[in-house]
């Protein structure tokens, strides 16, 4: 997204962040009996009247901050997330919500660019990367309902919220397949196919990232305790963030394309129910009982988190639901040691990262270890060992032009 009034975008984004922080302070200081949505709404209105720098935020955007904050507390009360917290200036992703689609007045300029109206900012230009219901293509059941401006390390972006009423899809006629997620082979399928990718960063980008990280470490070492971070160090942090954001975008692009291909090919996809939080727990231990191979475990944790297995499963869930397919999860324990032919677990069957040889004398099956685990997961599903299926939505929420796409590609 490009705009000629970047300073005004920053002012609105900081006003939205400050509104959240002031609301959080007011909410936590009040007795629980006086915490109501109506009282919070009145406080925000009063603050916008008395503080000019809060008034730069449109009223609808301020109401969106209140709605998001209240929803955050509901998620906390229902056990879905932790309690809302203070939003720091340099660690918080800047964003502005436009909750009413009629204010946007989106038009397509030509094939690659579009224009949208942002309250108190004016017309802004954005890259047209997905179809939007504008002009004659818009209707009561297919229209833009809002948008969000988002600032990441690579610049400002706009994500549109689109409502689309569609018929429930027919059952997917595709076959069943099991998937094993790994590091060396990102996705191994039970039918022998694999989904692989190269490094997210080129050699030159990795060298630049290492150099910036070394610069940041040296500058941080010279900073005294309690001293404010220098602008030079903040600039180095921004350079690091831009390179990492580039790698993240490439990973998300690969995930979208891969999961779309799987959802279009297969009717039932079976994955392991992985507890990634437990898998990436630190091996540091305690002072009394220090851990072993801490550095190696830290590297393994980075590799696991870099693959973002949880996000891959989430993408598969809604893309399969959109096409009439099903995503099922089975227990992950022992899938890498169980033979896919005789379904027995024998010690030492997995000879290496890629080789599996069953030690059962009556079987002697061998093959690729990743494909063996995928076939084992599929067998567990067929024999009734599936857990509660991952939730899918019949009506798919579509969002486009931004860093948080939520639609099939």
> Residue 106 in 3-state DSSP?
coil
Handedness of CA 320, 325, 331, 334 (dihedral sign): negative
Kindly state whether residues 128 and 207 are assigned to the same domain: no
Kindly state whether residues 268 and 132 are assigned to the same domain: no
Q: For residue range 94-121, list pLDDT tens digits in order.
A: 899 998 888 899 999 988 999 999 888 8
pLDDT number for residue 388: 57
Kindly state whether residues 222 and 365 are assigned to the same domain: yes
DSSP assignment of 334-366, as one string? Answer: TTTTB-TTT--B-TT-B-SSSEEE---TTT--E
Q: Which two tokens stand for residue 118?
A: 């942002």
Kindly state whether residues 154 and 184 are assigned to the same domain: no
Residues 6+ apart with CB under 8 A from 226: none
Residues 6+ apart with CB under 8 A from 184: 353, 354, 370
Which domain range does residue 89 map to? 1-168+395-409
Residues 6+ apart with CB under 8 A from 46: none
Q: Which two tokens stand for residue 211?
A: 């150099």
Which strand (E) or helix (H) includes residue 69? helix 59-77
Q: Where are the beta strands (DSSP E) in 62-120?
A: 95-98, 107-108, 113-118
Kindly state whether residues 287 and 346 are assigned to the same domain: yes
The Cα 286–Cα 278 span in angstroms is 17
Kindly state whether residues 77 and 187 are assigned to the same domain: no
Instruction: Tell me which residues of the chain have a pLDDT lower than 50.
Output: 389-409
Kindly state whether residues 3 and 78 are assigned to the same domain: yes
The Cα 186–Cα 319 span in angstroms is 19
CA-closest candidate to residue 409, choices 164, 130, 150, 137: 130
DSSP assignment of 36-66, as one string? Answer: -HHHHHHHHHHHHHH-HHHHTS-HHHHHHHH
Q: How many domains in the chain?
A: 2
Q: For residue range 208-246, list pLDDT tens digits in order.
A: 999 999 999 998 888 888 888 888 998 999 999 999 999
The Cα 372–Cα 370 span in angstroms is 5
pLDDT number for residue 401: 34
Q: For residue range 351-395, list pLDDT tens digits in order.
A: 777 888 888 888 878 888 889 889 999 999 998 888 754 444 333
Alpha-carbon 199 to chain mean position: 19
Kindly state whether residues 246 and 320 are assigned to the same domain: yes
Q: Please give the torsion angle defined by the CA atoms of residues 245, 248, 254 and 257, in that order, rounded to the nearest 10 degrees.
A: -80
Strands 326-331 and 268-273: parallel
CA distances from residue 254 to 9, 65, 206, 401 in whole angstroms, order as listed: 31, 33, 19, 17
Q: Which two tokens stand for residue 164?
A: 């689309």
Kindly state whether residues 144 and 120 are assigned to the same domain: yes
Which strand (E) or helix (H) includes residue 229? none
pLDDT number for residue 204: 96
Kindly state whether residues 324 and 229 are assigned to the same domain: yes
CA distances from residue 165 to 143, 162, 260, 409 in whole angstroms, order as listed: 10, 10, 21, 18
Kindly state whether residues 299 and 405 are assigned to the same domain: no
Kindly state whether residues 184 and 144 are assigned to the same domain: no
């Amino acid at each position: 997204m490009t705009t000629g009034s970047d300073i005004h975008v920053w002012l609105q984004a900081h006003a939205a962040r400050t509104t959240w922080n002031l609301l959080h302070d007011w909410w936590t200081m009040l007795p629980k009996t006086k915490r109501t949505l109506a009282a919070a709404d009145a406080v925000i209105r009063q603050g916008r009247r008395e503080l000019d720098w809060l008034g730069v935020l449109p009223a609808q955007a301020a109401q969106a901050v209140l709605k998001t904050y209240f929803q955050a507390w509901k998620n906390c009360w229902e056990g879905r997330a932790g309690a809302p917290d203070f939003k720091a200036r340099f660690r918080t992703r800047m964003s502005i919500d436009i909750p009413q689609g009629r204010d946007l007045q989106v038009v397509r300029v030509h094939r690659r660019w579009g224009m949208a109206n942002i309250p108190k900012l004016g017309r802004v230009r954005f890259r047209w990367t997905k179809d939007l219901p504008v002009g004659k293509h818009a209707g009561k059941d297919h229209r833009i309902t809002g948008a969000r401006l988002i600032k990441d390390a690579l610049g400002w972006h706009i994500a549109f919220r689109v409502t689309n009423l569609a018929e429930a899809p027919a059952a997917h006629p595709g076959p069943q397949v099991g998937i094993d997620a790994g590091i060396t082979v990102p996705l191994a399928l039970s039918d022998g196919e694999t989904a692989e990718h190269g490094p997210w960063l080129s050699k030159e980008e990795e060298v630049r990232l290492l150099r910036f990280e070394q610069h940041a470490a040296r500058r941080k070492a010279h900073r005294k305790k309690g001293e404010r971070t220098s602008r030079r160090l903040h600039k180095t942090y921004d350079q690091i963030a831009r390179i990492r954001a580039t790698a993240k975008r490439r990973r998300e692009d690969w995930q979208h394309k891969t999961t779309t291909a799987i959802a279009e090919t297969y009717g039932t996809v079976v994955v392991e129910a992985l507890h990634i939080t437990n898998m990436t727990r630190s091996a540091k231990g305690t002072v009394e009982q220090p851990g072993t191979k801490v550095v190696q475990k830290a590297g393994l944790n980075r590799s696991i988190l870099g693959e973002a297995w949880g996000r891959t499963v989430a993408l598969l869930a809604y893309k399969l639901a959109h096409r009439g397919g099903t995503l099922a999860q089975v227990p992950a324990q022992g899938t890498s040691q169980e033979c896919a032919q005789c379904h027995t677990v024998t010690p030492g069957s997995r000879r290496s990262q890629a080789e599996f040889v069953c030690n059962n004398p009556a079987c002697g099956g061998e093959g690729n270890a990743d494909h063996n685990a995928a076939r084992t997961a599929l067998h567990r599903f067929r024999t009734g060992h599936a857990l509660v299926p991952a939730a899918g939505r019949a009506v798919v929420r579509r969002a486009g032009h931004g860093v948080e796409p939520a639609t099939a590609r």
